[in-house]
Amino acid sequence: MAYKSLLTVATSPDRLDASVTAAAALAIRNDAHLDALALGVDRTQVGYSYVGSGAVIMAAAMDRAEEDARATEKGLNAALAAQPFGLRVAVETAVCQLGALTDVVASRARYADLVVLPRPYGKGNGVEAEAVVEAALFNGMAPVLIVPDKGMANSDPRRIVLAWNQSREALVATRRAMPFLKRADSVSIVVIDPPAHGPERSDPGGLLCQFLVRHGVHAEVTVLAKTMPRVSDVLTRHLRDVDAELLVMGAYGHSRLREAILGGATRDLLEAAEVPVFLAH
C-alpha cells in the first residue's frame, strides 16, 4: 500500500505552514494527490435567548465563520504556492457550525489514505483543532499524521519509534504506517513495563517484530522501564535518545482523545510533540 490520496485541513490562517509543507512533501514523494480544506467554524452555541434574537446571533456568527474561512483559504493558498513545482493539489473552502464539523471532516477523511494535520494543542488553538483530529481518526477511520510546529524534518523518516502495548489500536497503527516503516533505516518497537502475565510475557514485542521483519522492515524491540511518572515522558526521552524522526502509536478513546494510549500518553505527547506523530484507531 502507498499513500496516494492525502488530506490536510486548516481551521485558521495561523500555524498552517508546517502541516501544509509536510503534506506537500509527502504528496510529492509518494506521487500522490493532496486535498486541502479551508474550514470556517461557527463556534457559537445558541441556547436560551429572547424571541427573535437567536436568528440574529446565528447570522452574525455565520458571517464571522465565512470571514474566517476566506482568511484561512488565503493563508492556505499562500502556503501551497510556496511548495515545489509538480504538487497536485485541490483546495476546497467550507463553513459549518461546530456541531457539524465531525461530519464535514469525516466525509473527506474516509477517502484519504493519510490525513496530515497541525498539532491540535497549544496557544491559539481552539476546540475545533482537536475536533478535526478526532473526526478524522474516529469517524473518518483514517490514519492521521500530527505535525509539530517546527515541521517535519524528513518526509521519508529514517528512524522510527513504534509504541507497542499488544492492543488492537497499536496493531492498526502499525499496519497503516507500513509505507513509512518499510522505507525506514531502523524501527524501534518500544514496550514500556510489559505485563508479567499475558501472551507476550516471555518475548514482549517479539511477534510484532517478526511480522515486520517478514515485510522487510529493519525492526528491533526495546523494552523500557517506567522510570518517570508519565509514560509519555519515557517515550519522549527515548525519541530523543535515538534521534527519532517519527512516532507511530495507536489512538484510544472517543472524546477529544482523553482516553489515550498507554494510560494517557497520546494527549501528553501531542501537547509537547517534537517529532511528527502517526496515529490510527
Task: Convert the pLDDT of each residue in 196-234 to its tens digit.
Answer: 766 767 789 999 999 999 999 999 999 999 899 888 899
Least confident of 28-37, 183-192, 198-207, 243-252: 198-207
Compute the average pLDDT of residues 117-135: 87
pLDDT at 263: 40
Compute the average pLDDT of residues 231-255: 87
Task: Convert the pLDDT of each residue in 150-177 to its tens digit.
Answer: 999 999 999 999 999 988 999 999 999 9
HSE-CB at 153 with a 13 A cutoff on CA atoms is 11
- With a cut of 70, say whether residue 261 has pLDDT above it: no
- With a cut of 90, say whether residue 253 has pLDDT above it: no
Least confident of 127-131, 140-144, 174-178, 207-211: 127-131
Compute the average pLDDT of residues 1-21: 94
Q: How would you list the strands of the sheet with 114-118, edge to edge?
A: 88-97, 33-42, 5-10, 114-118, 144-147, 277-280, 246-250, 159-163, 186-192, 219-224
DSSP assignment letter at 92: E
The grid cell for 48 is 436560551
pLDDT at 36: 98
In the structure, what pLDDT confidence band is assigned to residue 257 with cuts at 50, 70 and 90? very low
Domain 5-147 matches domain 159-280 at the CATH topology level: yes
pLDDT at 82: 96
Q: Where are the domains of the chain?
A: 5-147, 159-280
pLDDT at 254: 47
Query: Cα(224)–Cα(93) distance, rounded to whole angstroms?
Result: 45
- Average confidence score pLDDT of the chain: 89
Which range scores top for mean pLDDT: 36-40, 96-100, 121-125, 250-254?
A: 36-40
- With a cut of 50, say whether residue 195 has pLDDT above it: yes
Q: In a 10 Å sphere around its CB, with 0-12 CB exposed, 13-18 middle and 19+ buried, how is residue 262 labelled?
A: buried
DSSP assignment letter at 227: -
- With a cut of 60, say whether residue 144 has pLDDT above it: yes
In the structure, what pLDDT confidence band is assigned to residue 45 with cuts at 50, 70 and 90? low
Class of domain 159-280: alpha beta
Class of domain 5-147: alpha beta
- With a cut of 50, say whether residue 260 has pLDDT above it: no
pLDDT at 61: 78
pLDDT at 15: 85
- With a cut of 90, say whether residue 89 has pLDDT above it: yes
Compute the average pLDDT of residues 63-69: 93
Give percent of the chain with pLDDT exceeding 70: 89
Q: 50 versus 1: which is more confidently predicted? A: 1
HSE-CB at 123 with a 13 A cutoff on CA atoms is 0
